[in-house]
Amino acid sequence: MNAILNVTDAKARFSEVVEQASQGQDIIITRMGKPVVRITRYEPTPSNQRLGLFQGQLRIADDFDAWPEEIARDLGMVD
């Protein structure tokens, strides 16, 4: 269930808002009655998603980004 607070209440109860969000409750902050921010619990990225994970395991063809001559001409990439 979401809690809805205006900016003034959220500022006054900031520690409580952080505690509720850390326990998994989404907090919606409103300004002049319109939702502007959602505060939610931080979920770290799984550790198996890192740059270079497949380094050395994939091969890209030398002509990977080469266009067929007819299409390149139609797109104005060659004369």
CB count in 10 Å sphere of residue 75 = 9
Closest CA to 42 of 11, 18, 10, 15: 18
- pLDDT number for residue 1: 60
> What are the residue ranges spanned by the domains of the chain?
3-39
Q: What is the pTM of this model?
A: 0.55
pLDDT at 35 exceeding the cut of 70: yes
**Mean pLDDT, residues 21-28 taken together:** 95
Beta strands in the chain (DSSP E): 3-6, 27-31, 34-39
CATH code linked to domain 3-39: 3.40.1620.10
pLDDT-derived band of residue 50, with 50, 70 and 90 as boundaries? confident
Q: Report the sign of the C-alpha dihedral through residues 48, 54, 57, 59, in that order.
A: positive
